[in-house]
């Protein structure tokens, strides 16, 4: 789950970059002073300085501010692209981990089935009741693992969809992006529409868990593998 927590941290930092890009772009796209307004017209006439008229003739812009603004936009854009690369690498690691855990769980499931089918063979060495109790413990532990792996797969899919959304947003950014459209991007990024909070809470609640003394060696390996998540 540490990788899931890392994804959330990256999403928050990416959101901050997107909001900053929105602010800088809003400043860059700001409209000129409306001289048609009676109030503004009066203010301009009462402050008719050379500096003011120069500012108006330049389209209400200062060259040094524009350069700084463009540099900030470029910095945000580069930061967002780097964010996408980090999230992509993180999801690739999570994908490999989920596949490994799934394979271990499948092997453990087959082993548990063999133990259940062949319990009569070992009846000479132990009583049937003791053996069945051992099998029941193993099955209970296996059920817990299967449940957790299922939740992991669901979370992996949710994070993947959220990443794809972020990737599309970053790919659509430009200096010509309308302000309202950029506001929508910031909103959906912050909302994380593909992330189900109930599933996330369930995953944190299930981790760590106790599989019992009857856990097979494969399930113990699965627990160690999960500790690296």
Q: Using one digit for the tens of pLDDT, what is the confidence trace for 27-67?
A: 877 766 666 778 877 777 777 777 776 666 666 666 677 78
Give 119's pLDDT tier (boundaries 50, 70, 90): low
Per-residue pLDDT, 222:
44
- Tens of pLDDT, residue by residue over 146-166, are 777 888 889 999 999 999 999
- Tell whether the model's pLDDT for residue 131 goes beyond 60: no
Per-residue pLDDT, 76:
96
Task: Spell out the domain ranges in the chain.
Answer: 2-18+81-227
Peptide bond into 198 cis (omega under 30): no
Per-residue pLDDT, 40:
73
Per-residue pLDDT, 170:
97
> What percentage of the chain exceeds 90 in pLDDT?
38
- Tell whether the model's pLDDT for residue 174 goes beyond 50: yes
Give 10's pLDDT tier (boundaries 50, 70, 90): very high
Per-residue pLDDT, 114:
58
> Whole-model pTM?
0.69
Rounded distance between C-alpha atoms, residue 192 and residue 205, angstroms: 21
C-beta of residue 203 within 8 angstroms of C-beta of residue 93: no
> What percentage of the chain exceeds 70 in pLDDT?
65
């Amino acid at each position: 789950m540490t990788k899931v927590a890392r994804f959330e941290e990256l999403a928050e930092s990416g959101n901050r970059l997107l909001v900053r890009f929105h602010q800088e772009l809003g400043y860059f796209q700001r409209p000129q002073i409306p001289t048609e307004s009676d109030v503004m017209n009066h203010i301009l006439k009462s402050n008719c300085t050379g500096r003011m008229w120069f500012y108006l003739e330049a389209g209400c812009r200062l060259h040094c501010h524009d350069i700084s603004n463009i540099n900030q936009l470029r910095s945000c854009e580069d930061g967002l692209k780097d964010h996408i690369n980090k999230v992509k690498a993180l999801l690739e690691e999570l994908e490999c981990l989920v596949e490994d855990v799934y394979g271990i769980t499948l092997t453990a499931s087959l082993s548990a089935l063999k133990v259940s089918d062949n319990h009569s063979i070992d009846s000479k060495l132990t009583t049937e009741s003791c053996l069945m109790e051992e099998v029941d413990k193993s099955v209970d532990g296996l059920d817990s693992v299967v449940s957790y792996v299922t939740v992991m797969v669901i979370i992996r899919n949710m994070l993947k969809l959220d990443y794809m959304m972020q990737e599309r947003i970053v790919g659509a950014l430009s200096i010509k992006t309308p302000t309202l459209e950029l506001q929508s991007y910031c909103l959906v990024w912050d909302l994380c529409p593909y992330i189900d909070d109930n599933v996330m809470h369930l995953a944190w609640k299930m981790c760590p868990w106790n599989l019992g003394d009857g856990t097979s060696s494969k399930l113990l390996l699965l627990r160690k593998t999960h500790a690296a998540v």
